[in-house]
């Protein structure tokens, strides 16, 4: 059985614990050691049956896997780097209800939540988070550290670059590209390529602001 810690003791962290519990119902794969969270106030708190062990940099763990339950792509990237430096090992968490076809390429450190459908010939890179009830069409590529919030629909042949955040119920039509670190607001419909480092929202999605580095 693999020992695992969940980095992030917020709402999504609790959902990831539930995801792991569902995996274990089908086959006992994981022992959840607890949460890692830098919040001093949360240390030693019991959340949904699991203890907050402390911050990532203060806990010594050996031969332990991790999952990063943080939606913000930039923060997720920084936290994953620290976890790897601490010798924690990434692992994929894929809910048993997920439907996926043949010939998909999956990276490591993925979180794929219940109800998601991934068709064929997709490429999902490392540390991508795919929340509840998303759909991903054929030949789509999703870059590292991207987060898809619930109900995102990606049509075929889309290119989602590194560090993108796709808001709840957003839709990207076939063949469109979204540049690095761009955020697409909830309910938006993307009908053209979007440049990097910007926030877009609306139907159709329009640029709202540039993201400051």
Binding residues: 71
Which residues are part of a known binding site for substrate? 71
Helices (H), 94-158: none
Catalytic residues: 138
Alpha-carbon distance of 184 to 186, in angstroms, equals: 7
Strand order in the sheet with 183-184: 93-94, 111-112, 129-130, 147-148, 165-166, 183-184, 198-201, 206-210
3 state DSSP class of 22: helix
Neighbours of 84 (CB within 10 A): 13
Q: For the chain, how big is the Rg over CA atoms in Å? A: 17
């Amino acid at each position: 059985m693999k020992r695992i810690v969940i980095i992030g003791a917020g709402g999504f962290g609790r959902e990831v614990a539930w995801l792991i519990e569902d995996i274990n119902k089908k086959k006992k794969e994981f022992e959840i050691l607890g949460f890692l969270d830098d919040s001093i106030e949360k240390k030693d708190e019991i959340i949904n049956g699991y203890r907050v062990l402390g911050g990532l940099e203060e806990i010594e763990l050996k031969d332990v896997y991790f999952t990063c339950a943080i939606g913000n792509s930039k923060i997720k990237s920084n936290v994953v780097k620290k976890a790897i430096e601490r010798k924690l090992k990434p692992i994929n968490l894929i809910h048993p209800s997920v439907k996926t076809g043949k010939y998909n390429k999956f990276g490591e450190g993925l979180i794929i939540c219940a109800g998601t459908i991934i068709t064929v010939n997709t490429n999902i890179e490392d540390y991508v988070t795919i929340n509840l009830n998303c759909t991903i069409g054929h030949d789509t590529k999703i870059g590292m550290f991207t987060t898809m919030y619930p109900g995102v629909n990606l049509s075929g042949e889309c290119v989602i670059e590194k560090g993108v955040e796709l808001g709840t119920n957003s839709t990207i039509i076939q063949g469109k590209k979204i540049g690095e670190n761009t955020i697409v607001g909830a309910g938006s419909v993307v009908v053209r390529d979007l440049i990097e480092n910007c926030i877009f929202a609306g139907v159709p999605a329009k640029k709202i602001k540039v993201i400051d580095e």
